[in-house]
Amino acid sequence: MSSAAYKSLRERALETSKKIQDILKINCAENEQQVVNTIERAIIEALLEERERCASVAYDHVCTEDRDKAHKVAEEIRRIRNALTVNLESMR
């Protein structure tokens, strides 16, 4: 897959906003940025929560020796998630 096929979360949020407007036959031009920001944030939160869930499942299924590593990875994921959330909030 070429790099041109990859889309940023912002691009995906913008496309989703346009699809929703088409489906509902509405125009959110005056609030478009807020709608796109909300969709982008929902995508990011879903990705981060899913990543955290996967880390928890992995933690539950690893041998005792690897639990410390899994715990450290889960903590790092939570730290990064919190930092990303703070950064997104500051961009508004």
Rounded Cα–Cα distance for residues 31 and 27 (Å):
9
Q: Tell me the HSE value of 87 on the side-chain side, using a 13 A CA sphere.
A: 8
Rounded Cα–Cα distance for residues 44 and 50 (Å):
10
What is the rounded average pLDDT of the residues 12-31?
90
Question: Which pair of structure tokens corresponds to residue 12?
Answer: 């995906």
Please give the residue that has the higher pLDDT: either 75 or 4: 75
Three-state DSSP at 76 gives helix
Q: What is the pLDDT of residues 32-56, one digit of tens each?
A: 889 999 999 999 899 889 988 887 8
Please give the residue that has the higher pLDDT: either 33 or 66: 33
Q: pTM for the full model? A: 0.60
